[in-house]
Structure 1
């Protein structure tokens, strides 16, 4: 039986996919251009480090003792010229904190180390709040317990605070344990997340999420906003994930800028199994959609780029997931055109990211970026759908 549709008339799904793919390509190209502009701006106009007192907050829960000691060691060895205090809070781990006595020789003048143990596990925010209450610094550094900082990381990340409009700064998180393919691919994703996505946002002062791996906040803002940070609820339940994104939103909502320090480096431990990685991505996706709703209340007061990013980050994964499903259905029916077009579009966007990363770093691993693109398209887009359907579940999931 002949097809009754007029010859040459495109099907609606093909038209929608074409629009989505073109929009995605345009967004990525804009993002790369803005990221490059921000990188050149930071290179051309380096800021001097400050020397105000800082407090480094390290919440820990069931962390490997060797990794935690290495984290604190990297903090105490900072080249930062100002006073530096470190507050480690154990959030009710099964085992007590490790012995930090081996680090005592690093406690020269202007360096202090204290630690506190919570009687029960109460969550990252509560552990941070204990340290916030003890903090004496004008700037508050938050560091995950599996982080190792570059020796000049804090000095470089404090520099943007010379601008009184800056309320928070995120450093760059990279992967330390690149001894398997998944971790190497995650490292590429982290590099792009900071040097492309957050760098572009930083150009407009609207970084949407300060990394839990390594970020710095104005102490006066932390003191003022901690009660609201602790009190956040969603669907009537206390929030136990999305801490870093919500704290960033609280800063932005106050009218402050949030910036990236592209030369302030930190290394973290990445998941080495798909199961753990997907659980992590599920938690992050839930926090994104939850905070998206919260951001709409103040986004109009930020730079236009803030809502522009949120729009694409919210809608594109869902539309592309629909395109993937549609392509698979047609492929099963013997029509491979949509599926091949989807694969080509995914490969192009990943190649664009990889090409920029290779140009900046000359690291050969960026040649694997299309592989990460297919992994992301095949697993993370469906995870986004699951996240939307399970927003009511506020468990941490990877502990």
Structure 2
């Protein structure tokens, strides 16, 4: 994993254009990957689209336009080069034809029977099946059989435009070329039967097919094997009368064809015994072979098509396996969250529950700040209402907007400003720890507002000597906008519900930068805040676990933070979070093989964190991808029901999380839209983080623009003059 020294921000105006260009380029890569996956799935869905059976009852239509010699003629119709002729198969000659294949189960059995009796036949293949099973088409050609076109996906051409007919022929031919390296001049229309069934709807198609260079082959004897009438009935239906020659219709696909295979094994020797000879169509009519080898560009185009179809099948199989894994992970995670978060809430809310002896000694609150002029006054004034004795240390990390001067001008007691050149948030926090007077260190962001009880609730777990750090309950303050409402749902459900679960499992992955507390001795033992990653909060939390400290969650320690209000700001923040988490996991990977507390975290915490924070979210888009796939290609109803089931589970978990956090359920109105839109953005962010990590890319930390609109519940934080009557004051 690549790491980069993190700074609070760059000099205003420096490199903004190039950074936006890089952001666009990085956005294009994951989007390109997603589009490519969707394209492969669409290809797979199209090639696997349902093919109707070859039989269909058609309403009677006039035959005025059909020449009498065609209606009274043979099953081979030639309209090439302006001709209008038909040909019969000579007496005692049989041409076996098989429609709708190749099928992976029944076509090999049919070919085995034909090979057993050294019989050649004609297989009219669809482009979809030929694309999916090219080896069977190649076997047909290699064993001397002829193949013909049966369109790509089996539409009734009588109702299609000429451009659609051309497309069906071209794609069908492309599949045959890619599979066997040949072109064919044989064609059989879907839903065709005998020559005398030609009507004014189908005849123009036959004429047009001839202008494209194809012989049209219909039927003179129908085995009606699609009805599955029994072996004897199939043989009876396939036997011509009075020694006549015939083109015999059978099927090697479209359902269970075991009767066809059994009938064929009896039919061939019986008809041979009656003096019949089996040939392919061009042998029977004395014409040149219908198959012509293809070379050059056309051959490679066909091979490329087959490659893409095969690749789409393999990709889909892989994605289906991933989808099954995703479903198991999602259901398992929801189950664990519901079970363990409920257990956590019952434990900490139990009457008389205490972490240990009450913590009453003063604590130091560190506020790292870089260009927080719009927010810093609200932040500091909220701390002045604290119910717990505190000192406030504002570390100005080289701000250029007068942040430090604003704090100094406030003239508040127990508030100190420490200035340093811009060195990044980890360095600012370490500087604050060095200047802090007390043994318990509370850390918050410069855009965050604390409630009066926040610090008191946050530090009580330190009554347990085993606790090294405490995660508070970060809440979205600007939840009035749609993006803010979506993040509010995410914070309550995705962050705080998770923290309850991780608390029980003793593998809390992150102390939020907006509201967290540390024991000074614990920080010193792990070397303080590190700038090795872009997620110093996750990095230090993992280090504390490995050093044997407990990290717990204090649900009542609420902090109100300003969430990003634009898509670009949200993207920048989550990209940094995702990439920083990956860096932290990589940094602490040795815990997997170590012993002691580090090994316990490595073999319990790291798999959970990696699975639920990195792998599962990356696979989760498959749910939406296959929703789209199922809606387009079916089964539509089952797909929608399954997706709604997943949504219902998520809605239940969200409602449960809101109930635990005592939040208003009205905010969940936007949950469906969040799942459809907001979640997709998070998917792409995580995918981009993976790409950055795997390619060794480096990511610059970008500071979000703040508005200073966040206030704690109950209204704006009072000024110093307004607080003159307040009895609670921080102690020195």
State TM-score, norm by structure 1: 0.86
- Aligned position for 2:338: 32
How big is the shift at 1:366?
A: 2.3
- 1:282 equivalent to 2:584? Answer no
Who is 1:114 aligned against? 416
Mapped to 1, the partners of 2:495 and 2:633 lie a distance apart of 41
Name the SS of the counterpart of 1:395 in structure 2.
coil
- Quick check: 1:172–1:265 contact (8 Å CA) kept in 2? yes
C-alpha change, 1:231 and 1:384, in structure 2 (3 Å) is closer
Matched length? 381
Structure 1 position 69 matched with structure 2 position 369: no
- Matched residue, 1:151: 452
Q: Which secondary structure does the structure 2 equivalent of 1:73 belong to?
A: helix
Residue 362 of structure 2 is aligned to residue 53 of structure 1: yes
Residue 354 (1) aligns with residue 662 (2): no
Q: Residue 380 and residue 354 in structure 1: after superposition, are their counterparts in 2 closer, same or farther (change >3 A)? A: same
Q: Is 2:370 the counterpart of 1:370?
A: no
Contact 1:354/1:367 (<8 A) preserved: no
Q: Name the CA shift for 1:335/1:101 in 2 (closer, same or farther; >3 Å).
A: same
Equivalents in 2 of 1:12, 1:178: separation in Å?
Answer: 39
Matches of residues 294-373 of structure 1 in structure 2 within 5 Å? 294-298=587-591, 300-302=599-601, 304=604, 307-322=607-622, 324-325=624-625, 328=628, 340=640, 343-344=643-644, 346-360=646-660, 361=662, 362-373=664-675
* Shift in Å, 1:327: 5.3
User: CA 1:345–1:117 in structure 2 vs 1: closer, same or farther (change >3 Å)?
Assistant: farther
**Pairing 1:252-271 to 2, within 5 Å after superposition:** 252-271=545-564
Q: Find the aligned partners of 1:377 and 1:3 in 2 and give their Cα distance.
A: 42
* Structure 2 residue aligned with 1:236: none
Judge which range, 289-298 or 382-391, deviates more: 289-298
* Gap change, CA 1:363 and 1:328, over 3 Å in 2: closer
Output one character per residue of 1:127-184: Cα deviation in whole Å (capped at 9) or x when no partner. 1121111112111111100111110111111111111111100110001112211101
The higher relative CO (CA closer than 8 Å, separation ≥ 6) is in 1
CA distance in 2, matches of 1:42, 1:26: 24
Q: Mean alpha-carbon deviation: is it higher for 212-221 or for 325-334?
A: 325-334
CA offsets 1:306-350 (integer angstroms, 9 cap, x no match): 533432322212222355446556766677579647743552343
Aligned to 1:385: 687
- The answer to whether structure 1 residue 198 and structure 2 residue 507 are counterparts is no
The separation in 1 between residues aligned to 2:622 and 2:638, in whole angstroms, is: 12
SS at match of 2:479: coil
Q: Which runs of 5 or more residues in structure 1 are unaligned?
A: 233-238
Q: Between Structure 1 and Structure 2, which shows a larger proportion of helix residues?
A: 1
Instruction: Give the whole-Å Cα distance in 2 for the aligned partners of 1:165 and 1:274.
Output: 41
Alignment correspondent of 1:132: 433
Q: Please state whether the residue corresponding to 1:59 is helix, strand or coil.
A: strand
| Distance in 2, Cα, partners of 1:277 & 1:289 | 18
Matched, 1:174 2:482: no
User: What is the distance in 2 between the residues matched to 1:16 and 1:387?
Assistant: 19
What residue number does 2:701 align with? 396
Structure 2, unaligned runs of 5 or more: 1-99, 106-254, 257-315, 593-598, 705-732
Larger radius of gyration: 2
Q: Secondary structure at the match of 2:367?
A: strand
1:85 is paired with a residue whose SS is strand
Looking at structure 2, the residues matched to 3 and 175 of structure 1 have their Cα atoms a distance apart, in angstroms, of: 59
Question: Is contact 1:175-1:269 (8 Å) kept?
Answer: yes
- Secondary structure, in 3 states, of the residue corresponding to 1:198? helix
Shift in Å, 1:222: 2.1
C-alpha separation in 2, matches of 1:178 and 1:256: 35
Q: Tell me if structure 1 keeps the 8 A contact 2:376–2:407.
A: no
SS state at 1:297 partner: helix
Measure the CA separation in 2 of the matches of 1:316 and 1:29. Answer: 15
Write out per-residue CA displacement over residues 93-130 of structure 1, whole angstroms, 9 at most, x where no aligned residue: 222224336754x52xxxx11102223x2211111121
**Matching residue within 485, 490, 513 for 1:212:** 513
Cα pair distance change 1:180/1:29, threshold 3 Å: same
Partners in 1 of 2:438 and 2:478 — Cα distance? 32
How far apart are residue 193 of structure 1 and its match? 3.2
Is the contact made by 2:364 and 2:442 (CA closer than 8 Å) also made in structure 1?
yes
Q: What is the Cα-based RMSD across aligned positions, in Å?
A: 2.8
Task: State the distance in 1 between where 2:642 and 2:570 align.
Answer: 24
1:169 is paired with a residue whose SS is strand
How far apart, in 2, do the equivalents of 1:12 and 1:118 lie? 52
How far 1:267 moved relative to its partner? Answer: 0.2
Are the structure 2 counterparts of residues 339 and 313 from structure 1 closer, same or farther at C-alpha, using a change threshold of 3 Å? Answer: farther
In structure 2, what is the Cα distance between the partners aligned to 1:140 and 1:358? 29
Q: Secondary structure at the match of 2:509?
A: coil
